[in-house]
Amino acid sequence: MSLTALAFYLFASITVFSGFMVIASKNPVHSVLFLILAFFNASGLFLLLGAEFLAMLLIIIYVGAVAVLFLFVVMMLDINYTEMREGFLQYLPIGALIGLIVLVELIMVVGVWQVAPEIIGTPAVAAAPDLTNTEALGAVLYTQYIYAFQAAGIVLLIAMIGAIVLTLRTREGVKRQNISQQNRRTPQTAIEIKKVKVGEGL
């Protein structure tokens, strides 16, 4: 077995395992940490595919930023585990039924999946071997998909406006630092000089 195959099975099996543990862990913080492990191994799989740019972005964006905030929130939540479990049995039958239906559907769909014969055996390679994949991605993202790219930017803008609209409150009675005001202070405005008589104090 070559080194690449070994790496593939390592990354793939850890991804699947940690994916399973995300839902199986009793402690939500562990779930998030397993999720991060899954992201990390998924980026390893990207590397094996030769998509090193995506691999790095997956870590920088998902692991480095999104999951940190996620972990942040989960750690601060005060979750009552017993209460969470109470409704479980009550909803189990209907949940299992829906799960079963979806499973059957998935099997039906995957069952009829025919991989085009000419694809088998052709490895996934970059379309232009002389381009690095950063360049290759940039070339389509800013030309062919500029519309979707810009629109996605507006989606993020809305998310930002939304977060501010729904959560920003100007609280009364909070002292705020005003740096220009601080810088404008001079000895004349800030201190008062008094003659103190010897032995008497103020």
Chain positions contacting another protein, by CB under 8 A: 3, 27, 29-30, 33, 36, 52-53, 56-57, 59-60, 63-65, 68-69, 71-72, 75-76, 105, 108-109, 112-114, 132, 134, 144-148, 150-152, 154-155, 157-159, 161-162, 164-167, 177
For 83, phi and psi rounded to 5 degrees? -65, -35
CB of 86 to another protein, least distance (A): 20
CB of 200 to another protein, least distance (A): 36
What does the alpha-carbon distance between residue 51 and residue 48 come to, in Å, rounded to a whole number? 7
Q: Which is nearer to another protein, 65 or 128 (CB)?
A: 65
Q: Which is nearer to another protein, 12 or 25 (CB)?
A: 25
What does the alpha-carbon distance between residue 19 and residue 33 come to, in Å, rounded to a whole number? 10
What does the alpha-carbon distance between residue 140 and residue 135 come to, in Å, rounded to a whole number? 9
Amino acid at 202: L
Dihedral angle over CA of 37, 41, 43, 45, nearest 10? -170
Please give the radius of gyration of the chain, using alpha carbons only, rounded to the nearest integer.
Answer: 29
What does the alpha-carbon distance between residue 197 and residue 202 come to, in Å, rounded to a whole number? 8
Q: Which is nearer to another protein, 12 or 57 (CB)?
A: 57
CB of 143 to another protein, least distance (A): 9
Q: Which is nearer to another protein, 115 or 198 (CB)?
A: 115
For 144, phi and psi rounded to 5 degrees? -65, -40
CB of 77 to another protein, least distance (A): 12
Q: Which is nearer to another protein, 168 or 196 (CB)?
A: 168
